[in-house]
Amino acid sequence: MIPILPYLLDTPPMLSHAATLGEYRAIAEPRMRLFTSSVDRAIAAGFAADRLGYAFAGAYEAALHRLVPALPLDVPACLCATEENGGHPSAMTTRLWQTSDGAWSVTGKKTWATLADARSNLLVVATLGAGPSGKNRLKVVRIPANRAGVTVNVRPAMPFAPEIPHAEVVLEAVAVAGGEILEGDGYDRYVKPFRTIEDIHVLAAVLGYLVAVGRAFAFDRSVIESALVDLVALRALGDEDPSRREVHLVLGGLLANSKARLATMASEWQKAPAEIFTMWERDRAILDIAVGARKKRLEAAWAGV
């Protein structure tokens, strides 16, 4: 038996109201640690949430642990890639260099960092400069947000999922230990696959949340059954190489099916309290983040068929 399924069906839905993200984490993290699979942890995060914003936060953390398994489970993490000119490899100007005494240092500014705060582990994408081919040579460095030289400037809340903090991260000659420079190419190994990994984990958390709401407020059983089917598929995708075209094709189908199904559930949501429904309507835009990038990813996958 898949261990997350009995948990979803036998555990009483909590839908506990958490006034802050910190309160939600205190509720969700013990439940997430019941599972070893990062997708299962995302599902558990959604099941423990009373709104999509919190479900997303748990899914984001689970996705980062899938990307970098060495990250500690008890410290939030944040991928810092986007700069003033975007997130394309050629747009990265945050610089990682080695000083004359052999030490490493990083300087630059990231304009959009999701879930960055003073206690986060920052995964900062930085350039070593252009290689012989002229391509930007990127690495990812892992540094704590409270290290000297790091400034986290909180950005205004978004109109949807306002509980999710976003920030600008400024780095001024921040010391980096050699062991904090992650192995592999910063873009191909980390930034590029993370969008796929994140999509898998966020959809898993949304469906985990939907199972909790559906059970708590007696939604039609077909809603829960369909969510369970999709969750089984997402668990399988979570174990696969996120660069494979087959993963992109299956994920594209799951995202499309889920979006279409959620759009027909108005009568079911009438069974939930007004507060729950209002937050759902406010936050469901989170499912459309980076929809353009997803479309290009799906087109590229089909081009290889």
Predicted confidence at residue 304, as pLDDT, reads: 86
- pLDDT exceeds 80 at position 34: yes
What is d(CA 305, CA 282) in angstroms, rounded to the nearest whole number? 38
Whole-number Å distance between alpha carbons of 249 and 246: 5
Which of 10-19, 40-49, 150-159 has the least mean pLDDT? 10-19
Q: How many residues does the chain have?
A: 305
Say whether 111 sits in a helix, a strand or coil.
Answer: strand
Mean pLDDT of the residues in the chain: 94
Locate tokens 């994408």: which residue?
125
pLDDT band at 205 (very low <50, low <70, confident <90, very high): very high
Domains of the chain, first to last = 4-68+189-303 (no CATH), 77-181 (2.40.110.10)
How many CB atoms are closer than 10 A to CB 155? 14
What pLDDT score does 119 carry?
82
* Whether residue 157 has pLDDT greater than 80: yes
Band (pLDDT 50/70/90 cuts) for residue 1 is low
> Do 131 and 185 touch, CB atoms closer than 8 A?
no
The helices-and-strands tally (H runs, E runs) of the chain is 10, 7
pTM of the model: 0.95
